[in-house]
Every structure is written in structure tokens, then in C-alpha cells.
């Protein structure tokens, strides 16, 4: 290899760096390169008229001092105005085939960039900036950028709101900057999640795609930037607020980890890399994901031991394995405008504590879970009456309330110690609590502690709260619920066992929300529940089969007073739970795939075993199709050479079809090769909108 080059490779992905002129230039990020590697000095771009007299290339941390005319990777200055445009020069490189640390310095600053690529092909990058000069350096931004080639012409990211998260949007790469900022004090309902750029028309199974995600639960930014020279980069970093990072001599700041993936097999290829990466973590949940019943949409604040015991009994009869008591159990909490922060079991509602309910839940063979919201307070609470200064925000005034809530200032050591002690006491007193549904229900655009902006410090304090509580109670699983999907990122998932994708259980909305969430996260990390017949959030009514099938591709659960279900619906729900329990080993370990080129009114989602031996596929009709006959259903991801048996896995509602006669093969079984199933497909019944079918696929050869 030519001197001063670094090449990292893993999982079929490679990144080639050139550090020969003192900068960290990315020559290539994409498919692994065969030997011999190119000499980067032979790949310098032209120098046109009316341009810098030296080639300007894409650096991991772009520098204006080297002619970069886009956003610099480091933005800040000293109090006297110095170091506003530092020139950082490579001093040392420590690298092997999987990991590299590049150290640069200049103008009283030292920068260490760490890159690592794992067996799944996920590139992880972070940077640490140290003030090595005299006086204070005020940092405004520290971001990592990765170049993508000219054939990356299309951008995909996600927007959304409460109860409608992860909504896909696409547009072309143009000259200029496309920026997605999240200023919520948390990840945000509209957070992009995965920012992807790819070849024109890339889909789930086709095209070349480059995707990035910032593993951070606070304010952040993702962007695509194409500068005048024609170079395009994707970048991400924290959004730092005024005065948050003030580095005195010797102090350092480290960025959150940027995760990046490349695939020549479309979005599903990028997802496969992220899913394998997450599943390889030591802390990834490896036990079967239990069927959950959460009580919120069953009883709301109507807490009563006998009523909840009857609900638990019915749940157990259906096959539920985890029973979660939601909001309303603590002091004075009869409505959502008071009591938040007073983490004591309410003696008026629970005169004997939670013990009797936990005992009854466990007697039915289920584990017990509890809802908490430790980071928030109501102003109508004992804790705020006693400690009004524990509310986060600007000194001397209150920020606007959100759902009658304010943010507890976890940066304040006393407030942090208080809430940690209350949660620790709760889990110690009730060792039967095996799961916490950890909510966080509001944005806060001006987090502050003791007169200073504290958005970043609040995020780190929340992380520390999770970490310390888990250290003391390592067997308690935690769900990240943030008024639904407002804190879904790889930072929070270092500390939690699943996320709640959305507060809506409307199955039609969930079809899109879960699809967008699964691009980054595997199904076992995404809570997906069967709600009541008429959705709480939208008022839309769906048959049970559509609700249950939608919940199947995820961590299955129920949020419904199942005591009110008809005998027929109870039998159907029990069958869906049994199907989930039978297939969850596959659903939570296989490759997630989607069919491209179908009518937009239908969707195909599948989970295929890594060895190709079996699969589960869902055909969902999302809207009325303009065609008289629905398009054939194709089955991507199967071994083309093997023969498979396909049959309906769950019964379809009798009134769901609009055709007088089903296709000749339906409901199976039918035996075809993987190639025939992928290229020709199977004709489908003409289902009414908002209905779905599940298929079991088993290899015969």
C-alpha cells in the first residue's frame, strides 16, 4: 500500500483514506476494493480556472483553511477571535484493517478522529477536539462528513409528527445544502432517523444506497451538501446551543457516534447491515420477545385491583406473557395534569401497594411491567411545590407547558439524585417489576440549568440515569417511549431493550410508521400492538385480522380491553398470538425484505431466515387500487434455486375479499421455486382496503 494511506474493510464495505498531504481525505466509501489498492496520489482532481491553485478534496472534518467552500466541520473561535478557521495537520495515524485513529493538530487545537468498521459493514466514526492552546475556545459545531459519488442523485429521509412518525420523503440531490435539524431537546417525532442517498430510483431491493444515522438523543442535524466543485457529502452532528461547549485549556469535547452503511442491494441491504450490527451487540435482547398487554387503552386512569386482575386473567388465557400497568398508579395521578414527579404508589388507589396486582399477574404465568416518566414533572406536584428551581429552562421564568408538563432539570445534582432514588426504591420494594415503559412526553426548545443552556448536558444526564438504574437492576428491561416515536435512535438503544414506534395503534398508520422505523431497527426492537377496533388517535375502525397482522412484524403486544372482545375475536387473537409465538424466532432473526414496483396501494413485507429455509410474508392492501385485479404478490429474498411451499398462515376475515372467485392456487399450499416466486409471484385475492394476509413459506429442497 502506498505510504500514508489507510484502508478499512468489513462486511463487503471499504473506506480508503489518503493522509499524504496532512489532511484526512476520503478517496472511497462503498463496496470493498480488491487488491491492489489505487494510489490516491493518482486520483487528484483537476484544478480549473478561477479556483484554488491546489485540488480541494472531501475531508472527514472539512476545513475552510484547505479550501472547502461548504460548511466547515469545526466551527468556533476563541474569545479574542482567534482559531476561527484552524488549519489542522495530521500528526499520527494508528490503523489496522478494521480501525483507525488519525490525530491532527494546529492553531491550539488537537483533533482525534476514530473510524471503525465491523463485520456487518457498519462504519462508525467519532471525533474528539481538545483545546491545547491558551485561553478559552468556544465550540459551535463539530461534525463528520462522508463523500458520496456523483451517481448518488436522490435523497430519502423521514419526517412526521405525533402519531404519524417516520413518513418517507424523496427529492433529488441539487447544488446547495439540504439540512434536517431537530430542535426538540430529544430526538423528535420528525427526526430523519436514517438519511439515505442513492442512485436514481433506488428502492428496497434495487439501487446503490449510502445511509447515515447519528446515535444521539438530543438536538442534532443531518445534511446533504453539494458544493460548486461537484463534490457531494453526507454529514451529521449535534446541534450545539449558545455557550454549551466552552473548552478551557486541556478540556475536550467528543461527538456522538456517526453510523454509516453502504449497499448495492437497495434500502433492504442497508437495513440488513444495521440489523445485523444491532443483533451482534452484547446487550441486544436475545430471549424470546414476550407478548405484551399494556393497560393504557384498556383502562386509562381507572385503576382498580379487581378490574385489572380480571384483565390480567383474560390476557393470560389469550397467551400474553407480560402485563404492563400504565399511567395512573402514583400519588394524586387521577388525570394527566398533576402528580408527575411524585413517584410514590398512591395509597388511595393502592392501599396495599402494587404487591397484590403483581402477585396475581405472576400467578397467571406473566411478568409485570410499569409505566414511568422520570424526566418530566407537572407543576401541580409535591416535588415542584418543594423544589420549583428543579424545572429546566431559562433563569427567572417558565417555558411554555406541553401536555401540562415541564422538564425536570437532571443536570441539577439534587434533582438527579432525587429521581434516581425514587426509581431505585420502587424497583427494590417491588422486585417483581421486570419491565419499565419509560416515557418522555414533551419537547423543550430552551433547556437550561442554573442560567446556562443545557440541552446537551440534559441528554447526557438522562443517559446517566438509565445507566445507573440499569447497573443497580440489570434484569429490568426498559422501553424507550417518548410520546410514541420521539426518541428512536441508536444512542438511547444502548440503554433500552426496545422502542415504542408511535402512540397510534391505528393499523393503517402503523403500516407506514413501522416500515420507516424498520429501515434502521430490526422488528424485535420495535413495540407493535393490537389496539381496540376503533383507534384512540384517529377514530378509524379496522377488523381484528388487519390489526393483528400489522402488529406481527415487530415486538407483538396488545393495548385493548380484551375483556370486551367477542368470543370470535378472542379466538382469532389467541390464534394470532400463537402464530407470533411459533414464528418469533424467525421474525426476530431473519432478513427484512420488501417488494418494489407494486401498486402504491399495496405493500409486501417479509422476513426471510438467514439460511433461506423459511419465511413469513405479509400482503397488505393499504388503499383502493385503480386496477380491477390486484398485482401479483412477489416474494423477494428467497433462494432462487430452492423449491418452497407457500400457504396462508392466518385466517382471513370472510368479508375482506371483493372478488367472486379467489385465484386458483389460493389459499394453498402451492409449491414453486424461489425464482418463480420472486419474478412471477402469485395472484392475490381482491381484498378490500385495509386488510392483509400472512403467508408461511417453507423450503422443500
What are the angstrom distances between the C-alpha of 203 and each of 571, 620, 658? 38, 18, 30
Pairing status of strand 25-31 against strand 13-18 = antiparallel
What pLDDT digit, counting tens, does each position of 655-688 carry?
677 777 889 999 999 999 999 999 999 999 999 9
What are the angstrom distances between the C-alpha of 596 and each of 259, 523, 604? 26, 20, 8
| Residue 119: band (very low, low, confident or very high) from pLDDT cuts 50, 70, 90 | very high
Same domain membership, residue 257 and residue 143: yes
546: pLDDT strictly greater than 70: yes
Same domain membership, residue 46 and residue 132: yes
What pLDDT digit, counting tens, does each position of 368-427 carry?
999 999 999 999 999 999 999 999 999 999 999 999 999 999 999 999 999 999 999 999
Same domain membership, residue 369 and residue 274: no
Q: What is the distance between the alpha carbons of residues 197 and 149, in angstroms, rounded to a whole number?
A: 10
Question: DSSP string covering 282-348, please?
Answer: TTS--S----EEESHHHHTT---HHHHHHHHHHHHHHT--EEEE-S--BTT-SSTTS-TT--SB-TT
Same domain membership, residue 259 and residue 328: no
Residue 566 lies in a domain: no
Same domain membership, residue 145 and residue 29: yes
2: pLDDT strictly greater than 70: no
Same domain membership, residue 339 and residue 238: no
What are the angstrom distances between the C-alpha of 244 and each of 79, 247, 477, 655? 15, 10, 32, 59
Residue 325 lies in a domain: yes
Question: DSSP string covering 115-147, please?
Answer: EEE-TT--EEEEEEEEE-SSS-EEEEEE-EEEE
Q: Which domain holds residue 675?
A: 592-699
Q: What is the distance between the alpha carbons of residues 556 and 318, in angstroms, rounded to a whole number?
A: 13
Burial label for 576, CB within 10 Å (0-12, 13-18, 19+), is buried
Cell numbers 418522555 correspond to what residue? 440
Same domain membership, residue 598 and residue 452: no
Residue 539 lies in a domain: no
Q: What is the distance between the alpha carbons of residues 635 and 608, in angstroms, rounded to a whole number?
A: 10
Provide the whole-model pTM: 0.97
Instruction: Quote helix, strand, coil % in the chain, to nearest 5.
Output: 20, 30, 45
Assigned C-alpha cell, 284:
441486544
Whole-number percent of the chain with pLDDT over 70: 99
* Residue 661, number of CB atoms within 10 A of its CB: 9
Question: DSSP string covering 10-38, please?
Answer: ETTEEEEEE-TTSS-EEEEEEEPPPSSPP
Same domain membership, residue 370 and residue 228: no
Residue 578 lies in a domain: no
Same domain membership, residue 44 and residue 173: yes
What pLDDT digit, counting tens, does each position of 165-185 carry?
999 999 999 999 999 999 999
What pLDDT digit, counting tens, does each position of 250-303 carry?
999 999 999 999 999 999 999 999 999 999 999 999 999 999 999 999 999 999
Same domain membership, residue 639 and residue 492: no
Over range 431-443, report the average pLDDT: 98
Quick check: 175 and 70 in contact, CB under 8 A? no
Residue 173 lies in a domain: yes
152: pLDDT strictly greater than 50: yes
36: pLDDT strictly greater than 70: yes
Q: What is the distance between the alpha carbons of residues 508 and 689, in angstroms, rounded to a whole number?
A: 10
Looking at residue 598, its pLDDT comes to 86
Same domain membership, residue 333 and residue 224: no
Domain stop point among 279, 311, 337: 279
Tell me the backbone φ, ψ of residue 469, rounded to 5 degrees: -70, -40
Mean pLDDT of the chain, nearest integer: 96
How many domains does the structure of the chain reveal? 3
Q: Would you call 91 helix, strand, or coil by DSSP?
A: strand
Q: Which residues are catalytic?
A: 439, 503
| Residue 654: band (very low, low, confident or very high) from pLDDT cuts 50, 70, 90 | low
| Residue 607: band (very low, low, confident or very high) from pLDDT cuts 50, 70, 90 | very high
Quick check: 378 and 384 in contact, CB under 8 A? yes
Q: What is the CATH number of the domain that holds 644?
A: 2.60.40.1180
| Residue 1: band (very low, low, confident or very high) from pLDDT cuts 50, 70, 90 | very low
Residue 46 lies in a domain: yes
Looking at residue 111, its pLDDT comes to 98
Looking at residue 556, its pLDDT comes to 98
Q: What is the distance between the alpha carbons of residues 110 and 253, in angstroms, rounded to a whole number?
A: 11
H-run or E-run covering 698 = strand 691-699
Domain stop point among 470, 500, 530: 500
Q: What is the CATH number of the domain that holds 373?
A: 3.20.20.70
Looking at residue 3, its pLDDT comes to 52
Same domain membership, residue 325 and residue 233: no
**Torsion over CA: 146, 76, 243, 71 (sign):** negative
What pLDDT digit, counting tens, does each position of 346-366 carry?
999 999 999 999 999 999 999
Task: Kindly report which listed range (48-57, 135-144, 483-492, 612-621) carries the lowest average pLDDT score.
Answer: 48-57
Domain stop point among 454, 479, 500: 500
Q: What is the CATH number of the domain that holds 59?
A: 2.70.98.60
Residue 286 lies in a domain: no
Residue 357 lies in a domain: yes
Q: Would you call 90 helix, strand, or coil by DSSP?
A: strand
322: pLDDT strictly greater than 50: yes
Over range 141-157, report the average pLDDT: 98
Amino acid at each position: 500500500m502506498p505510504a500514508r494511506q489507510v484502508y478499512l474493510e468489513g462486511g463487503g464495505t471499504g473506506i480508503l483514506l489518503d493522509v499524504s498531504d496532512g489532511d484526512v481525505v476520503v478517496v472511497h466509501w462503498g463496496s470493498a476494493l480488491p487488491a491492489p489498492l489505487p494510489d490516491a496520489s493518482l486520483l487528484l482532481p483537476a484544478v480549473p480556472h478561477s479556483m484554488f491553485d491546489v485540488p480541494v478534496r472531501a475531508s472527514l472534518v472539512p476545513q475552510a483553511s484547505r479550501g472547502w467552500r461548504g460548511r466547515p466541520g469545526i466551527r468556533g473561535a476563541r474569545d479574542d477571535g482567534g482559531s476561527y478557521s484552524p488549519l489542522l495537520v495530521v500528526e499520527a495515524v494508528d490503523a489496522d484493517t478494521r480501525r483507525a485513529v488519525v490525530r491532527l493538530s494546529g492553531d491550539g487545537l488537537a483533533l482525534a478522529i476514530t473510524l471503525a468498521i465491523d463485520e456487518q459493514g457498519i462504519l462508525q466514526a467519532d471525533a474528539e477536539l481538545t483545546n491545547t492552546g491558551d485561553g478559552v475556545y468556544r465550540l459551535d459545531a463539530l461534525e463528520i462528513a462522508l463523500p458520496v459519488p456523483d451517481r448518488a442523485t436522490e435523497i430519502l429521509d423521514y419526517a412526521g409528527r405525533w402519531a404519524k412518525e417516520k413518513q418517507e420523503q424523496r427529492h433529488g440531490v441539487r447544488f446547495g445544502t439540504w439540512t434536517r435539524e431537530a430542535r426538540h431537546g430529544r430526538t423528535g417525532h420528525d427526526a430523519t432517523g436514517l438519511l439515505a442517498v442513492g442512485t436514481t430510483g433506488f428502492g428496497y431491493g434495487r439501487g446503490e444506497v449510502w445511509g447515515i444515522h447519528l446515535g444521539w438523543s438530543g438536538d442534532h442535524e443531518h445534511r446533504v451538501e453539494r458544493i460548486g466543485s461537484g463534490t457531494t457529502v453526507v454529514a451529521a452532528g449535534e446541534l450545539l446551543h449558545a455557550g454549551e461547549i466552552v473548552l478551557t485549556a486541556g478540556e475536550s469535547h467528543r461527538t456522538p457516534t456517526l453510523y454509516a452503511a453502504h449497499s448495492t442491494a437497495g434500502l433492504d441491504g442497508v437495513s440488513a447491515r444495521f440489523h445485523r450490527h444491532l443483533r451482534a451487540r452484547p446487550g441486544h435482547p436475545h430471549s424470546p420477545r414476550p407478548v405484551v398487554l399494556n393497560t393504557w387503552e384498556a383502562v386509562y386512569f381507572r385503576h382498580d385491583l379487581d378490574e385489572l386482575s380480571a384483565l390480567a386473567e383474560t390476557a393470560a388465557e389469550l397467551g400474553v406473557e407480560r402485563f404492563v400497568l400504565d399511567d395512573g398508579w402514583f400519588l394524586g395521578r387521577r388525570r394527566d395534569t398533576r402528580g408527575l414527579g411524585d413517584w410514590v404508589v398512591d395509597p388511595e388507589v393502592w392501599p396495599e401497594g402494587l404487591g397484590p396486582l403483581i402477585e396475581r399477574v405472576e400467578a397467571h404465568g406473566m411478568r409485570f411491567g410499569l409505566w414511568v416518566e422520570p424526566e418530566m414533572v407537572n407543576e401541580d406536584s409535591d416535588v415542584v411545590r418543594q423544589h420549583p428551581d428543579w424545572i429546566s429552562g431559562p433563569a427567572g421564568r417558565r417555558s411554555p407547558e406541553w401536555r401540562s408538563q415541564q422538564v425536570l432539570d437532571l443536570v441539577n445534582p439534587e434533582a438527579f439524585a432525587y429521581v434516581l432514588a425514587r426509581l431505585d426504591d420502587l424497583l427494590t420494594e417491588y422486585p417483581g417489576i421486570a419491565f419499565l415503559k419509560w416515557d418522555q412526553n414533551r419537547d423543550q426548545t430552551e433547556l437550561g440549568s442554573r442560567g446556562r443552556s443545557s440541552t446537551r448536558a440534559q441528554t447526557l444526564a438522562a443517559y446517566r440515569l438509565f445507566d445507573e438504574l440499569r447497573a443497580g437492576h440489570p434484569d429490568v428491561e426498559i422501553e424507550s417511549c417518548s410520546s410514541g416515536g420521539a426518541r428512536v435512535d441508536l444512542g438511547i438503544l444502548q440503554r433500552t431493550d426496545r422502542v415504542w414506534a408511535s402512540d397510534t395503534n391505528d393499523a393503517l398508520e402503523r403500516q407506514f410508521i413501522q416500515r420507516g422505523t424498520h429501515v434502521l431497527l430490526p422488528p424485535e426492537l420495535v413495540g407493535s400492538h393490537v389496539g381496540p377496533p376503533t383507534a384512540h388517535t384517529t377514530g378509524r375502525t379496522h377488523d381484528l385480522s388487519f390489526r393483528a397482522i400489522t402488529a406481527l412484524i415487530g415486538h407483538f403486544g396488545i393495548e385493548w380491553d380484551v375483556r370486551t372482545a367477542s368470543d370470535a375475536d378472542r379466538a382469532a387473537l389467541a390464534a394470532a398470538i400463537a402464530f407470533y409465538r411459533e414464528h418469533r424466532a424467525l421474525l426476530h432473526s431473519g432478513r427484512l425484505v420488501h417488494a418494489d414496483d407494486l401498486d402504491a396501494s399495496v405493500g409486501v413485507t417479509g422476513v426471510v431466515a438467514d439460511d433461506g429455509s423459511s419465511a413469513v410474508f405479509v400482503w397488505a392492501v393499504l388503499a383502493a387500487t385503480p386496477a380491477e385485479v390486484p398485482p401479483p404478490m412477489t416474494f423477494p429474498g428467497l433462494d432462487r434455486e430452492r423449491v418452497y411451499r407457500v400457504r396462508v398462515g392466518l385466517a382471513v376475515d370472510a368479508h375482506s375479499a371483493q372478488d367472486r372467485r379467489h385465484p386458483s392456487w389460493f389459499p394453498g399450499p402451492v409449491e414453486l421455486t424461489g425464482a418463480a416466486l420472486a419474478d412471477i409471484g402469485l395472484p392475490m385475492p381482491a381484498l378490500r382496503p385495509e386488510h392483509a394476509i400472512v403467508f408461511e413459506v417453507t423450503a422443500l429442497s
